[in-house]
Amino acid sequence: MTDKYNRVYNFSAGPAVLPVEVLEEARDEMLNYKNSGMSVMEMSHRSKTYDEIIKTAQKDLRELMNIPDNYKVLFLQGGAHLQFSMVPINLLKNGVADYIVTGQWAKKAYQEAQKYGKINKVATSEDKNFSYIPDCSDLDISPEADYVYICENNTIYGTKFQTLPNTKGKILVSDMSSCFLSEPVDVTKYGLIFAGVQKNVGPAGVQIVIIREDLLRDDLPNWCPTMLNYKIHADNDSLYNTPPAYGIYICSLVFKWLKKQGGLEKMKEINEKKAKVLYDFLDSSKLFKGTVEKSSRSLMNVPFITGSDELDKKFIEEAKNEGFVQLKGHRTVGGMRASIYNAMPIEGVVKLVEFMKKFESENI
């Protein structure tokens, strides 16, 4: 076991590991938040104390990501899955959108959007089980497309866009769920960014949406449920109804923690160093190998295999006994996957590689 709380090294893809310091702070404030006499869980979302929490959360996120003033930050619910619907409902005007399908999540978004318009698949990597990011420098973008959609980091397959697609002037929409806050991004390149926080930021139940103001609309069709209208949430500062209040509070602690670490430039540096430990080993190992084209590798999710289902199983079992948990790969890829989000300390990865070396020497 790894620390004074007997916590394991948790390589889960999501819900995933959170910083110990954040959990400790939440623990210390759990029963009486800053002399309010109550827990944040028990507090009115209209109270002054809570207003301070959600405003500070937004301010810190804006600072971390350098979000320009003409973008709104929304704290919503419904998971990334609800965004698969909200994006087309709110952004389709001509009724046409172009999707780049690089994995299961992009595919689900693509399928869901079909309910609302003419949705084109302009690129895909399905031919090689999504093990790479296709060349998106000169796609056949529809002249009337309302937006181009990507899933920027493919959690299941371990690939990430290293350069953004050339959208030929169309609005770019990105599902950033599994790479959100892992490195700096230029928000101005996007019309809309969304992320479920349970991968890299907080507890399941909070969805962060960053949307350029001019994409908020007064002319949505009447059938659009009020709760699915971005503008309603933007006009009400994410307090149209009761927000996922406690989850937002935990996110706010993570934002503070990230600022203390040195911000997203620093996180990128740490994440690159961390991922390199694992990738370097995979590239030199006689037993383990990565499943992704090198030029498409994710810093957050690292899938790998031994080539034998039996050995994979044995490895996962023995790793678990040593305190390295949730290493089983997604059922569509098989093998193993180590998710190494912001809160996974580098020691966790170094120790995992040590264990892999030992396993290799015993099983080759």
> Among residues 72, 105, 274, 312, which one is catalytic?
105
Our answer to whether residue 93 is catalytic in this structure is no
| Residue 10 C-beta: closest distance to ligand PLP, Å | 16
- Which tokens belong to 355? 């264990």
Our answer to whether residue 105 is catalytic in this structure is yes
Give the Cα separation of 296 and 36 in Å (integer). Answer: 48
Stretch that binds ligand PLP, among 31-39, 175-183, 230-238, 313-321 (CB under 6 A): 175-183
**3-class secondary structure, 43:** coil
Nearest CA among 290, 297, 300, 279 for reference residue 343? 300
| 244 scored as a contact of ligand PLP (CB under 6 A) | no
Select 146 or 175, whichever has its Cβ closest to ligand PLP.
175
Q: Are 245 and 40 in contact (CB under 8 A)?
A: yes
CB atoms within 10 A of CB 134: 20
Residues 284-303 interacting with ligand PLP (rule: CB under 6 A): none
Q: Are 293 and 299 in contact (CB under 8 A)?
A: no
> Among residues 160, 175, 257, 274, which one is catalytic?
175
Give the Cα separation of 81 and 175 in Å (integer). Answer: 10
> Among residues 72, 160, 170, 199, which one is catalytic?
199
Residue number of the CB atom closest to ligand PLP: 79
Site string for ligand PLP, 4-43 (x = CB under 6 A): ----------x-----------------------------
Angle (CA) 109 110 111, round 5°? 90
84: left (phi over 0), alpha (psi -120 to 50) or beta: alpha
Our answer to whether residue 223 is catalytic in this structure is no
| Residue 192 C-beta: closest distance to ligand PLP, Å | 14
Stretch that binds ligand PLP, among 22-30, 38-46, 173-181, 311-319 (CB under 6 A): 173-181
Question: What is the residue type of 192?
Answer: L
Site string for ligand PLP, 62-101 (x = CB under 6 A): -----------------xxx--------------------
Select 17 or 353, whichever has its Cβ closest to ligand PLP.
17
Select 136 or 179, whichever has its Cβ closest to ligand PLP.
179
Stretch that binds ligand PLP, among 68-76, 174-182, 260-268, 317-325 (CB under 6 A): 174-182
**3-class secondary structure, 325:** strand
Terminal C-alpha separation, the chain? 27
Select 90 or 177, whichever has its Cβ closest to ligand PLP.
177
Looking up tokens 């796609």 gives 139
Distances (CA, A) of 329 to 132, 321, 335: 17, 17, 5
Select 107 or 168, whichever has its Cβ closest to ligand PLP.
107
Residues 99-118 interacting with ligand PLP (rule: CB under 6 A): 105
Cα 122 to the chain's mean position, in Å?
A: 23
Give the Cα separation of 271 and 269 in Å (integer). Answer: 6
Among 72, 170, 199, 233, binds ligand PLP (CB under 6 A): 199
Q: Are 328 and 11 in contact (CB under 8 A)?
A: no
Which are the catalytic amino acids?
Answer: 105, 175, 199
Residues of this chain that bind ligand PLP (CB under 6 A):
14, 79-81, 105, 151, 155, 175, 177-178, 196, 199
